[in-house]
Amino acid sequence: MTDYIVIGAGSAGAIIAARLSEDANANVVLIEAGGRDSSFLYHMPAGYLGLVKAGMGNWCYETVPQPGLNGRTMYFPRGKVLGGSSSINALVFVRGNAGDFDGWAESGAQGWSYRECLPYFKKLESFEKGEDPYRGGNGPIGVSAGPPIEDMSDLGQAVIRAGIEAGYRINPDYNGATQEGFGSANSNIANGRRQSTASTYLAQAAGRPNFRIISSAHVTRILFEKGRAVGVEYISKKKLHRLDTGGEIILSGGAVHSPQLLQLSGVGPAALLRAAGVDVVVDLPGVGENLQDHLTVNLQQEITKPWSELGKMKPLNTIKALAQYALFTSGPTTSNGQEILAFLKSDNALAEPDIQFHFPKIMVQDHGRIIIKREGITAVANFSRPRSRGTVRISSADPRQAPVIDPKYFSDPEDIRITREAIRMGRDIFAQPAFDDLRGPEFAPGEQVQSDEDLDQYIRDTIYSGYHACGTCKMGVDELAVVDPTTLKVRGIDGLRVADASIMPAIVSGNTNAASMMIGEKAADLIKGISPAMS
C-alpha cells in the first residue's frame, strides 16, 4: 500500500517526495503530468532561451483578457516536466525579503517567520562561497554567487558604477543579512549545469526501492471517502488509472494546478463547483482566490559599444558555444546571462525595498522570443509587492479543459503607480556619468514618453508576467485560508495537504522559485513531524 502520493514533481513536490522517501519504511509515489527532463536544454543554463522559444516542458497557458492591460491576454507559463518550473525558469536565485516571511507570520501563518524559514533555505542550498549564518553549504541545490564586480563585463561594471553614482549601495549578498542594494546575481547553477529539483533531489532519490515516479500522467481527481482523501485518478497513455493510499496525499501542483485539482475534486467555492457540474465535498471559498504575480516592465537603452550579448547570438558563435558545452561543459552557455540584481526603494521612507531590477545585456520582446538586433541593455523592473489579486477557476468538470486564469493585473492602481516610478528610477541610473561614453538613444519606451499618462499607456501595452504566480491555496486563519499553516492540511479534509507556491499568503519580494523550494523542505519536515533544530 502506498503511504504517500505526491502530485506534481515541481519546485516543491520533487523535494517533498525525495525527502519522504528517505524513510525506507515509507512507500512514496510521485505523479507528474510532464515528461522526463531528458533534453540538454533542461540542463544547460542558457538552454532556457530555447525552452522559451519552443514551449518545451510548459503548459503554455494564457490568461483571460486583462482590462488593466488594455484588453491583452498574458502568456502564463507553468512547468510541465520533472522539476516543474525549476527546470524551465531563468535560474535566478532570490529568497525574498526577511520582512516577507515575517509578514506571513503576522497575517496568521504561524511558524513561517523568517527566523523559522531560514533553516530550510540553508538546508536546500550549497552556496558557492560556503556556509555562513545566512547561507547553506551542503544542500542539494548548488547556488552560484555570481561574478565579483572586478570580474564583471565592461557593461556590468558600468551598471554598478551608475548605481553608486545614483546614490545606491553595493550589497555583497542580497540573500544574506539584508536585501537592499546592487549586487551580483545568484543563480541555481553549479558545475555548468542547471540545479533543478529534478537534477538534484530526484536524481539523488533515484533507485530507492520505496520510491516510484509516474511521469506523463495527468491527475484528474482526488478521491474522498467519509471526509478523507484516499486516492487519485490519473490518465496515462490514454487510459484512466486509480492509485489508492492508506496514508496521505500531498498536492504540489503549483499556483494554477493545485486550486484547479481541488476544485475538480469537489473542494472549493460551492457555487463555483455547482456551476461547473462538480459535486461539493467541502465548501472552501478561498480555493483559487488570492492569485498574485509580479509584472515586469522593460526600460531598453541602446549603447554605442559592442558590449551586449548580441554577438554571442550570431549563428557561428552559437554553434561554437554549443560544441564547447557538449564537449567540456564550459563556455558562455554555462551562464544564464545575469550578472546584476538590484533591490531598491521607490520611497526612502519604506522599511524595505519594493522594486527589483535585473540588467540583462540584451534587448528582447515577446517574453524573450524576439531578439532586438541592436546593441543595448535592459533595466527589467517589477513592483515586488503588488496589491492586485486575481483568481484561478474551473469552468467545467472536464480536467482536460484549461482553468480560467484571471490575475486582474493593475486592478489596484497603486501597482501601476509604482511601476511607473520604477521606469523613472531606471532612467536615472542610465543617466549617470558611468554611461556618458556609451549611452545611445532610449529604445523603449523612448525619450518622448514622459508624462504619467504616456508611461501608463506604455506599461499597459508592453508589461509582461514575471512568471511568479502564487497564493491560490493560501495558508492562514481567515475565511479565505485553504490550509492550516502548522500542518499544511486542507481545512475540512483528512489525509490531504497542499505544499507549493499556492500556499503563500503574499508574494515574496523576488523570484519565487527559491521560496517554493523552501516550502518543499519545510513541508517534508512538517509531514514527518521533525522540527528545524532536528533537521
Per-residue pLDDT tens digits for 342-351: 999 999 999 9
The radius of gyration computed from the CA coordinates of the chain, to the nearest angstrom, equals 22
Cα separation, 139 vs 119, whole angstroms? 11
Instruction: Provide the β-strand partners of residue 92.
Output: 187
Cα separation, 426 vs 423, whole angstroms? 5
Q: Of 371, 370, 365, which Cα lies nearest the Cα of 444?
A: 365
Average pLDDT over residues 241-249: 98
DSSP designation for 504: -
Per-residue HEC secondary structure of 445-513 comes to: CCCCCCCHHHHHHHHHHHCEECCCCECCCCECCCCCCCECCCCCEECCCECEEECCHHHCCCCCCCCCH
CATH number of the domain encompassing residue 455: 3.30.410.40
Q: What is residue 503's predicted lDDT score, i.e. its pLDDT?
A: 98
Q: What is residue 535's predicted lDDT score, i.e. its pLDDT?
A: 45
Residue 389 has pLDDT above 50, yes or no: yes
Which pLDDT band, with edges at 50, 70 and 90, does 367 fall under?
confident
DSSP designation for 166: T
26 part of a folded domain: no
Q: Which position has the grid cell 514575471?
A: 466
Q: What is residue 52's predicted lDDT score, i.e. its pLDDT?
A: 87
pLDDT for 413-427, tens place per residue? 999 999 999 999 999
353 part of a folded domain: yes
- Give the count of domains, the chain: 1
Cα separation, 207 vs 14, whole angstroms? 15
Residues spanned by the domain of 418: 147-184+295-383+410-462
Q: What is residue 409's predicted lDDT score, i.e. its pLDDT?
A: 98
DSSP reduced 3-state for 7: strand
Return phi, psi of residue 117, to 5°: -90, -30
The answer to whether the bond into 532 is cis (omega within 30° of 0) is no
Q: Of 432, 433, 437, 438, which Cα lies nearest the Cα of 304?
A: 438
Diameter of the chain by CA atoms?
Answer: 72
Instruction: Provide the β-strand partners of residue 381.
Output: 297, 357
pLDDT for 9-58, tens place per residue? 999 999 999 999 999 999 999 999 999 999 999 999 999 989 988 899 99
Is beta strand 376-383 parallel, antiparallel or unpaired with respect to 355-358? antiparallel
Q: Does 43 participate in catalysis according to the annotation?
A: no
Cα separation, 60 vs 41, whole angstroms? 17
**Count of alpha carbons within 13 angstroms of residue 408, beta-carbon side:** 14
Q: What is residue 83's predicted lDDT score, i.e. its pLDDT?
A: 98
**345-374 b/e (C-beta count within 10 Å ≥ 16 → b):** ebeeeeebbbbbbbbbbbbbeeeeeeebee
Cα separation, 102 vs 88, whole angstroms? 29
Burial of 400 (0-12, 13-18, 19+ CB in 10 A): exposed
Q: What is residue 175's predicted lDDT score, i.e. its pLDDT?
A: 98
Cα separation, 322 vs 342, whole angstroms? 30
Q: Which position has the grid cell 557538449?
A: 326
Residue 468 has pLDDT above 80, yes or no: yes
Average pLDDT over residues 456-464: 98
Q: What is residue 533's predicted lDDT score, i.e. its pLDDT?
A: 54
Instruction: Count CB atoms within 10 A of the CB of residue 60.
Output: 13
pLDDT for 165-176, tens place per residue? 999 999 999 999
DSSP designation for 376: E
264 part of a folded domain: no
DSSP reduced 3-state for 480: coil
**Count of alpha carbons within 13 angstroms of residue 382, beta-carbon side:** 23
| Residues recorded for the chain | 535
CA 126, 130, 135, 138 torsion: positive or negative? positive
In sequence order, the 6+-apart residues with CB closer than 8 A to the CB of 21 are: 28, 205, 208, 210, 211
Catalytic hit among 43, 294, 358, 468: 468
Instruction: Count CB atoms within 10 A of the CB of residue 409.
Output: 23
pTM: predicted TM-score of the whole model, two decimal places: 0.97
Average pLDDT over residues 384-388: 98
pLDDT for 145-158, tens place per residue? 999 999 999 999 99
202 part of a folded domain: no
Cα separation, 219 vs 76, whole angstroms? 21
76 part of a folded domain: no
pLDDT for 476-531, tens place per residue? 999 999 999 999 999 999 999 999 999 999 999 999 999 999 999 999 999 999 87
Q: What is residue 1's predicted lDDT score, i.e. its pLDDT?
A: 81
Average pLDDT over all residues of the chain: 97
Helix H segments across 166-218?
203-205
Cα separation, 124 vs 517, whole angstroms? 7
Burial of 61 (0-12, 13-18, 19+ CB in 10 A): middle
Q: Which position has the grid cell 523552501?
A: 518
Q: Of 343, 362, 392, which Cα lies nearest the Cα of 178?
A: 343
Q: Amino acid identity of 375? A: E
375 part of a folded domain: yes
Is beta strand 141-143 parallel, antiparallel or unpaired with respect to 125-127? parallel
Cα separation, 368 vs 372, whole angstroms? 10
